[in-house]
Amino acid sequence: MTDKASQKSAIELRKPNKDDGFRLHQLVEECPPLDPNSIYCNLLQCSHFAETGVAAEMDGDLVGFISAYIPPLQSDTIFVWQVAVHEKGRGQGLAKRMLKEIVARDACRNVTHMETTITWDNKASWALFRSFARDMDAELTYHEHFEKETHFGGKHDPEYLLRIGPLKKS
């Protein structure tokens, strides 16, 4: 087995729990340019949204995490809030593997679409979601959703809302 293949198999994907909250906070700090959330927010992501989140662990270290949720008024949609992959977990398709893990869960049985927001210059995220859409044989559409001046007071680049679907689940 190659080093990359053995690393990939050594990464365990699981539902997060409240004990992951502080570790998630540290992971995001180590993954610029991700926007950090409060530790309390991370605790809620790991407990209240555990059914739609995924933690990736390798040798006891948290090397990846996706926080996601099903919006209350869109029961057919999973919204991906944040994708974090530590440099130790990069180059192995981990982010896409985590996305697929989420949509395969029982909590997402009624989900037909995925949404997320991305800044225009985040090439890695655009590539990830385009690749995911291809793998799911789904259309990807996008439009500016949060505007720099109107929604961020000029302090953050605009965020584009991507919508992928309908998802072809196996």
Q: What is the mean pLDDT of residues 140-164?
A: 84
Q: What is the CATH number of domain 3-165?
A: 3.40.630.30
Domain boundaries, the chain: 3-165
Q: Are 164 and 132 in contact (CB under 8 A)?
A: yes
Q: What is the mean pLDDT of residues 138-163?
A: 85
Q: State the Cα torsion 7-10-16-22 to the nearest 10°.
A: -60
Residue 135's pLDDT is what? 96
pTM as predicted: 0.90
Sequence length of the chain is 170
Question: Which of the four pLDDT bands, split at 50, 70 and 90, describes residue 32?
Answer: confident
Q: What is the C-alpha separation between 131 and 1, in angstroms, rounded?
A: 25
pLDDT tens sequence across 46-102: 999 999 999 999 999 999 999 999 999 999 999 999 999 999 999 999 999 999 999
Check residues 41 and 153 and name the one with the higher pLDDT.
41
Q: What is the mean pLDDT of residues 98-110?
A: 97
